[in-house]
Structure 1
Amino acid sequence: MSSTSVRTAGAARPMPWLPPAVHAAVLLGGLYGGLVTDGPVRPLRLTGFAACLLVLIALDRIEQRRYPPRTPPRPAALLLAARLVLFAAAVGLDRSGVSRALFVLVPITAFLAFGRRVGVALTVACTGAILLGNVLWVPRWYLRTDVVTDLLMSGLGLALAVAMAAIAVGEQAGRARLAETLDELRDSHARLADYAARVERLSTARERNRLAREFHDGLGHHLTAIAIQLEKASAFRDLDVRIAERAIADARWSAGRALDEVRMSVRALRDEDAPFSLSSALADLVRHVDGGSARVTLDVSGEERGYHIESLTALYRAAQEGLTNAHRHAEAHLVSVCARYGEEEARLVVADDGRGFAVGREEDGGFGLRGMRERVDRLGGRVEVEAGPGRGTRITVTVPREPVGAEAVPR
């Protein structure tokens, strides 16, 4: 069911069929009673009675078409007054007495138009009016069984009418609440779908950035190392064959490491755990990078056991990036790599004596340091860069033992 149909159903007028049904029944009953009652038939009286009922039926039709959900208070009061006049006229013209049933509609109409208090008040007023009429115009009415029975039945009918109106109003309010609840559920579903789409987009962007960092930090570093070693081999080919062969061997090692890291990335995509030792990886890295244009030293202290793989990988990537920058951009002669494992966090420092750069512009030239910051920030760590023209560069990376939001299992 659409939201429009639910709202229409919830706002429909309660019991729109009841007044026309009562009016039609009273019209037929009054005409039948006027024709079969003892005594002469009075056409003018029957015609006037029928005219009152037909006007009442027309009023019902006009009101329901003019005010489909609910009649406003002012028109409702005017229509109720007009109906009371027509009810009284019909009762005066009716010889059968069936037209007194019209007053059952008074509390119902008042309840629907003005609320519970007015409906109950008019119920009591109608019951009192019927009782007062019997007291004034029926001698010793309390001794006549037919009058007392009629009075009791009239009061019971009015009470049932009010109860029916209360049930109808409650059902209408329930339908309205149901429509509101369905609208809220649709809105919540739409918001949830929007959030899911946003999460999917953010997850895709996050994974894309992660892969970009992996390729840059891993393959980028090794390809740079391969290029440097091949240039070294070419330069020493005629001067020192041993150095040239070692450079070629280091290039082969870098190519192998690049292949290993590609395989490691594939295993990570498949959620397959792989053993990793940062200390061994750093020693391997420094050993094969050392001996080029810059001297590289390594100092490791503390125990890496208990650290998450993501934290250790972030430090390794930072070391790769720092060494790559020192070889490609810094023109350094000495590069030091220092790793410290503490109780709560681990720290890696890569320092060189190269030409440095202006602080604040370290991310202008490429993806490296920006990707490093993104990787470390995601784990709840921090990256500090100290540099200056002609004063070298010092990169300090700190990561917690238990990264924020890490998905890896502690080693």
Structure 2
Amino acid sequence: MVTRIVPWVSGAVYGIVLLAGVYSAVAGLGPANGVRLAGFVAGIGALFALDAVERRVARWPAAFLAARLVLFFAVAALDGSGLARALFVLVPFAAYLTFGRPAGLVLGGLCLAVLVGGFAVWVPGWYRDTESVSDVLMFATGLVLALAMADVAVRERRAASRVAELSAAAERNRLARDIHDSLGHHLTAVSIQLEKAAAFAGRDSGVAGQALADARRSVGYALEDVRTSVGTLRGGGRSLAAVLGELGVPLDVHGEEPDLGPATVTTLHRAAQEAVTNARRHGRADHVRVSVTFGAATRLVVTDNGRGFDPGAARSGYGLLGLRERAALVGGTVSVDSEPGAGTRVTVTVP
């Protein structure tokens, strides 16, 4: 995976170099030349434009790195403050992010060698001049810090990618287990009821008819579970409010939805689906409401007026264990408030 240069880093360096160059010209600290200053400012503008184009095109990283290097030399030649050499710190930084550690280290060494070579040619005895030695040491320090930042950025993005992969795998496993448990249970019930209907067909038509009705009901539950699982899979890439709005129950949204990430959206969506399904199927509720509040943490609350239950006696068949396992994958918690005859309130909080 190619990792692009972090936009704010390059933009910050460009801005600092621009301010230093303009201040040097205005304050008379360097050669006063309007054409040279205009070229310097245009070069910095070209660097900003190049970064914007690279983010949009997202191809030919080597060509963009070469173009950036050419502009660095041009800006450094036009700069009267001498600070433009700091731009070259971005070369190994970008190379590290784009091509990997070896490329970043090699280009970092070359940049330092070019600086030292330039001093050797244009500043005789530079190694005895305090200011020149200080410039070289500061540039070397900047290279080390840039490479360290690039390494941290690469590791962070790899870790984020790994977490996303693990979350997706965990969700697939959860869905597979949910389908196996729920669909397998319903199909088993259908099989038993059909056998019962066949056994009583010639002896008691009422019992046989009731068995067939129970089998149809189990088939309906199975289809509902399949639709729920498919809906969860299709919810990726959409906002939480959008997917919750398709549950078919009243929805209250408080606050502005942040970028939750697909794993969190899937977790909260699936939790709401299970809570609503449980309220209707097991709780026999005729009124279910979903509320989501966005803030420092995202809180999802599903309330119903069903017959309630004893949370301490609930088992995995009611879905509470699955809810807690799924919420834990994204650092969330689940609380259930219910008692027989008093409805149920399920709260899922995700940081």
Please report the TM-score for the alignment, with normalisation by the length of structure 2. Answer: 0.53
Pairs aligned (count): 204
Deviation, 1:107, is: 0.6
CA separation of 1:144 and 1:81: change in aligned 2, threshold 3 A: same
Q: Distance in 1 between matches of 2:176 and 2:4?
A: 33
CA contact (8 A) 2:92 2:143 kept: yes
For structure 2, the 5+ residue unaligned runs are 205-351
Deviation, 1:214, is: 7.8
CA separation of 1:12 and 1:148: change in aligned 2, threshold 3 A: closer
Within-5 A mapping of 1:189-228 = 189-208=174-193, 211=196
Corresponding residue for residue 66 of structure 1: 57
Q: Distance in 2 between matches of 1:59 and 1:40?
A: 28
Q: Distance in 1 between matches of 2:143 and 2:112?
A: 8
Say yes or no: does 1:79 pair with 2:64. Answer: yes
Deviation, 1:113, is: 1.5
> Which letter does structure 1 place at the counterpart of 2:45?
L
Corresponding residue for residue 119 of structure 1: 104
> Which letter does structure 1 place at the counterpart of 2:14?
H
For structure 1, the 5+ residue unaligned runs are 1-9, 224-411
Q: Distance in 1 between matches of 2:135 and 2:122?
A: 15
Q: State the secondary structure of the residue aligned to 1:17.
A: helix
**Post-superposition CA distance 1:5-28 (Å, at most 9, x none):** xxxxx9985622211221122111
Say yes or no: does 1:23 pair with 2:32. Answer: no
> Which letter does structure 2 place at the counterpart of 1:135?
A
CA separation of 1:148 and 1:204: change in aligned 2, threshold 3 A: same
Within-5 A mapping of 1:5-404 = 13=4, 15-38=6-29, 41-67=32-58, 72=59, 75-208=60-193, 211=196
**Post-superposition CA distance 1:237-277 (Å, at most 9, x none):** xxxxxxxxxxxxxxxxxxxxxxxxxxxxxxxxxxxxxxxxx
> Which letter does structure 1 place at the counterpart of 2:79?
D
Q: State the secondary structure of the residue aligned to 2:7.
A: coil
Corresponding residue for residue 310 of structure 1: none
Deviation, 1:103, is: 0.5
Q: State the secondary structure of the residue aligned to 1:120.
A: helix
**Post-superposition CA distance 1:62-107 (Å, at most 9, x none):** 111222xxxx4xx211121111111111111111111111001101
CA contact (8 A) 1:26 1:99 kept: yes
Q: Distance in 2 between matches of 1:121 and 1:96?
A: 28
Q: Distance in 1 between matches of 2:2 and 2:123?
A: 45
> Which letter does structure 2 place at the counterpart of 1:175?
A
CA contact (8 A) 2:90 2:146 kept: yes
> Which letter does structure 1 place at the counterpart of 2:55?
Q
> Which letter does structure 2 place at the counterpart of 1:18?
V
Structure 1: 4+ residue segments shifted above 4 A: 10-14, 209-216
Q: Distance in 2 between matches of 1:53 and 1:169?
A: 27
Please report the TM-score for the alignment, with normalisation by the length of structure 1. Answer: 0.46
Deviation, 1:208, is: 2.8
**Post-superposition CA distance 1:279-314 (Å, at most 9, x none):** xxxxxxxxxxxxxxxxxxxxxxxxxxxxxxxxxxxx
> Which letter does structure 2 place at the counterpart of 1:44?
V
Corresponding residue for residue 323 of structure 2: none
Higher RCO (C-alpha under 8 Å, 6+ residues apart):
1
> Which letter does structure 2 place at the counterpart of 1:131?
V
Say which one has the larger Rg. Answer: 1
CA separation of 1:29 and 1:197: change in aligned 2, threshold 3 A: same
Q: Distance in 2 between matches of 1:39 and 1:181?
A: 56
Deviation, 1:210, is: 6.6
CA RMSD of aligned residues (A): 2.5
Percent same amino acid among aligned pairs?
Answer: 39
